[in-house]
Structure 1
Amino acid sequence: MEILQQEPIAALATAPGIGAIAVIRVSGDHAIEITNRLFRGKDLSRQASHTVHFGTIRDAQNTIIDEVLVSLFRSPASFTKEDVVEISCHGSDYVIRQILRLLLKEGVRMAQPGEFTQRAFLNGQFDLVQAEAVADLIAADSEATHRAALTQLRGGFSKQLKALRQQLIEFAALIELELDFGEEDVEFAQRDDLRRLVWSIQRVLRPLIESFAVGNAIKQGVATVLAGKPNAGKSTLLNALLNEEKAIVSDIPGTTRDVIEDELFIDGIRFRLIDTAGLREATDTIEAIGVERTRQQLDKAAIIVYLFDVAEATPAEISAVEADLKQRSVPYVLVANKMDKLSAEKLNEWQRTFGENLVPIQANTGKNLTEMTQRLTGFVKANTVPGCTVVTNLRHYEHLTQTDAALARVLDGLDAGTTQDWLAIDLRDALRHLGELTGEITTDDLLATIFSKFCIGK
């Protein structure tokens, strides 16, 4: 693939603000020569790629702006596959502005958000899925999101999809060829072979599609709703998990009237803990609004923690609650709070009735909280396979589902003996969505939308 050496661009690659060190990245045509005109030290034009050089940056009057380290990355062995220079200077806002001003005077322009990564994509450094993983890796705020982004950056599912797409292209070409010989009733594409190829693609697509529910929760934070009757101890549990007085705790039932939310990291996974109003028949308008909001949160939950006072509830009552939770088709755990009020024998009876779905705790002392949090992380880990790709991007999910739908139509057409022209339409649709997913088919609007979300300097 021909490398596109475009006009030189520059940007601050480190976070803005005063710091010990700042890095200014320059990429594009004559990036090394331009930097060399400002640099006093070794002649950068004669230095090898992947070398670092100490010197000074000076203006036209030979005034020293700063002592710097300059790193050279010659095309195509660089992030953008263009000539790239990284200037490590002191993190003074003044120094950064002066160096950028000198670069602009030499014909460099300021980079747009994500422009370095966009150039890397256009020059074939990686595909569009991997390019988007760069932004996800930068934004990763937990071990789980970091792991998902890194897997995607290393190729994830896109390499496998590219190979399968190429095979599908070959079959589509044969189907198109049959259209040219429509009157002669010839068959170039073996239908059984096409069916097997579609099956093999679907075997790759469907686990990825199913992984989005978990992947999206990991990326946004796993919405974990604390629900139960008033005075069950939900606010006490929230405070104990966060180790701070986040919610008001009172013996008066119905104290929590609105949704209270905070984040908790457990084993590298970000959970969004949502404390809700107690579920009961409301006694006033304000409480009724709170109860309605609780029901809305339950509808959006990724995990439900149903908390109840084990000394006040009955097994029949909790069985009815569990039946309702099962209908929601999301993981749940029954948390029997205030376990100190029951004898060990009674607690054993509760556990025999509800099995692993029940965890007894004492929220006000923190007893058994570790067992409960392990249950939460277990729900997430049970739906992810270490080293396997988890889809976290809505754009990817939409193209995967559209591809799967088109391939399902191809199979239906094969079973029904559909003519070549209808098969060709569905194959083209599948190929288009696969191509837009990996970036083999792109539009300027698509690229502008994706890379505009990146930070400047990346």
Structure 2
Amino acid sequence: MTRQLPIIAVATAPGKAGVGVVRISGKNLEAITKALFQKTLKPRQANLLTLRNSDGQTIDQLIAIYFSSPASFTGEDVLELQCHGGPQLLELVMRRCLELGKDEGLVIAEPGEFSLRAYLNNKIDLAQAEAIADLIDAQSEAAVRGAARSLQGTFSNDINALIEEITQLRILVESTLDFPEEEIEFLENAQARQRLLAVKTKLQALRAGAKQGKILRDGIHIVLAGAPNVGKSSLLNRLAGEEVAIVTPIAGTTRDRVKESINIEGVPIHIIDTAGLRETIDVLEAKGIERSWDAIRMADLVIFLSDIETQADAHNLREQILSELSPKCPVLDVLNKVDLFAAPPRIAQGNILLISAKTGHGVEALKQKILQAVGWAGPQEGAILARSRHLDCIERAAEHIEKSEEFAANGNSSLELFAEELFLAQNHLGQITGKLLPDDLLGKIFSQFCIGK
């Protein structure tokens, strides 16, 4: 990334709007500002100005606000131009800025470069920077609130507090290594094991919260699987509340995956209706079935759907599906078309959920089963969003705390290893906020942000 040069990008989403924002960030932007408007702008004041092209013709009348370093989002000088929101107009504004800023090295920003500079200039930590992207991408009101808490530093504060506890405990253990005859007594008097247990308990709570936060951020990817004509498309339509998939009595109607997203208790649910699984000589249907198997292998949860007429024949297909799944992927067994009976049928297996996609019977219970199956604990005050990266770091830290507990119990011979495991746990937690993150991983994280953010 071009971290030393001034950068420019459109900060608003593509498309037509009442207002479009062009953002410039860099060191000493006074020269660019003066070239654009022939005047020096006072910091943090809105200015109604006219931007002209090289022939003196008006490009746009806009509002310009100048933020001087370090009192800005990036920690550098920042110029924000609030223009009218036409895509072609914003392109002309960008082009004119690049033209007049050429001598100062003005270049188009790379994805996430504004947030990266804010991170590098200690305006935010890495978890807060990621929360900016999560806030933009939030798929529910609960996700918005969780991302906002992370952006305000709630998640980072919890991480930093835990790092500090581990650091102080590690310092205590390491300080005893020079006095081998007093090590155990000293650690016992300092309640080292009790402090380690407190760290372990807090880390477990943090891990549980991060798992909930990951569900809230990423949602649940569900695949509806089963034989043809068991009601997968009807169930998708019922869950979505509208007709998003074609339903006919003809087996094999669904030839490709149909995707729809819904919301259950603030959790984004991404549902994929797949082609019915069977042997076929139809080339198009076979291709759809192949894609169905690909979706099943990638699912967070599989709903295996059968109906009254095909239930007896569904066992082999279910076993085949189980053989393709990760051991961590749960399967919900659902029996559809119970509306064909005056009373719900009796079945031998008590864990099969009875529904009617046609009437809606049992669908609300199915929604609750979905949340339970993936470990959703329900709406919580103070919930934060978390990424797979965060959860991985927390779980690795937890593994090292477990090992440190074993070494602590072994006495003098293992105290150096005790301290080393604490150090490793501390490092993994530090990667969440970016204190100990390699540059290549840093670039990968910010490259996933949108341009202009």
Normalised by the length of structure 1, the TM-score is 0.79
1:131 is aligned to 2:135:
no
Match of 1:113 among 111, 114, 136: 111
Q: Which residue of 266, 270, 273 maps to 1:272?
A: 270
Counterpart residue number, 2:387 = 393
Task: Indicate whether 1:414 and 2:408 are aligned.
Answer: yes
> How many angstroms apart in 1 are the aligned matches of 2:448 and 2:425?
27
Residue 415 of structure 1, CA deviation = 1.0
* CA displacement 1:391-441 (0-9 Å, x = unmatched): 542221221111111111110001111433222221221121122221122
Query: What's the CA shift string for 1:92-150, capped at 9, x where partnerless?
Result: 12233113322334453433322211121122222111111212222334445434433
- In 1, Cα distance between equivalents of 2:314 and 2:12: 57
Q: For residue 175 of structure 2, what is the aligned residue in structure 1?
A: 177
* C-alpha contact 1:70 1:87 (8 A) present in aligned 2: yes
Return the match for 1:446 from 435, 441, 445.
441
Structure 2 partner of 1:24: 22
Looking at structure 1, the residues matched to 314 and 109 of structure 2 have their Cα atoms a distance apart, in angstroms, of 62
Q: Is 2:36 the partner of 1:52?
A: no
Distance 1:226 1:212, change over 3 A: farther
Q: CA 1:421–1:367 in 2, change beyond 3 Å: closer, same or farther?
A: closer
SS of residue matched to 1:121: helix
Shift in Å, 1:54: 0.7
2:108 & 2:247 partners in 1: Cα distance? 50
TM-score (norm 2): 0.79
Distance in 2 (alpha carbons) for counterparts of 1:196 and 1:383: 29
Residue identity opposite 2:243 in structure 1: E
Identity %: 34
Q: Which amino acid aligns with 2:248?
A: V
Deviation at residue 285 of structure 1 after TM alignment: 10
Q: Indicate how the Cα distance of structure 1 residues 250 and 82 shifts in structure 2: closer, same or farther if over 3 A, else same.
A: same
| Contact 1:151–1:387 (8 Å) recurs in 2 | no
Match of 1:124, SS state, is coil
C-alpha RMSD over aligned residues? 4.0
- What is the CA-CA distance between 1:226 and the residue it aligns to? 2.0
How far apart, in 2, do the equivalents of 1:248 and 1:35 lie? 60
Instruction: Report the CA distance between 1:369 and its aligned residue.
Output: 7.4
Match 1:89 to one of 83, 94, 98: 83
CA pair 421-39 structure 1, distance change in 2 beyond 3 A: same
Map 1:311-390 → 2, pairs under 5 A: 313=311, 334-343=333-342, 346-347=343-344, 350=346, 354=350, 358-363=353-358, 366-368=359-361, 371=364, 374-375=367-368, 378-379=371-372, 382-389=376-383
Matches within 5 A, 1:6-85: 7-16=5-14, 19-32=17-30, 34-39=32-37, 43-44=40-41, 47-49=42-44, 51-58=45-52, 64-85=58-79
Q: 1:423 aligns with which of 411, 418, 425?
A: 418
Give the direction of change, closer, same or farther, for the CA distance of 1:442–1:272 in structure 2 (3 Å limit): closer
2:81 & 2:347 partners in 1: Cα distance? 63
Following the alignment from structure 1 to structure 2, what is the Cα–Cα distance between the partners of residues 39 and 188?
Answer: 73
Kept in 2: contact 1:69–1:88 (CA 8 A) = yes
Aligned to 1:157, what secondary structure does the other structure show?
Answer: helix
The one-letter code matched in structure 1 to 2:431 is E
Gaps of 5+ in 1: none
Instruction: Give the deviation of 1:155 after TM superposition.
Output: 2.0
Residue aligned with 2:70, SS:
coil
Aligned twin of 1:263 = 260
Superposition pairs of residues 171-320 of structure 1, within 5 angstroms:
171-179=169-177, 181=178, 185-186=182-183, 190-191=187-188, 193-210=191-208, 215-242=213-240, 243-244=242-243, 246-247=245-246, 249-252=248-251, 255=252, 260-267=257-264, 268-278=266-276, 282=279, 300-310=298-308, 313=311
Query: Structure 1 residues 408 and 340 mapped into 2: Cα distance closer, same or farther (>3 Å)?
Result: closer
Distance 1:430 1:82 in 2: 34
| Larger CA deviation: 119-128 vs 442-451 | 442-451
Does the aligned pair in 1 maintain the 2:217–2:385 contact within 8 Å?
A: no
Q: Distance in 2 between matches of 1:293 and 1:37?
A: 56
1:207, distance to aligned residue in structure 2 (A): 3.9
Distance 1:391 1:270, change over 3 A: closer
Give the Cα separation in 1 of the matches to 2:80 and 2:399: 46
Please state whether the residue corresponding to 2:101 is helix, strand or coil. Answer: helix
CA contact (8 A) 1:209 1:397 kept: yes
1:255-298 CA-partner distances (Å, limit 9, x unpaired) = 26866230222345432223345567x57798999878767755
Work out whether residues 21 and 83 of structure 2, in 8 Å CA contact, stay in contact via their aligned partners in 1.
yes
The worse-fitting range, judged by mean Cα deviation, of 58-67 and 394-403 is 58-67
Q: CA deviation at 1:251?
A: 4.1
CA contact (8 A) 1:40 1:55 kept: no
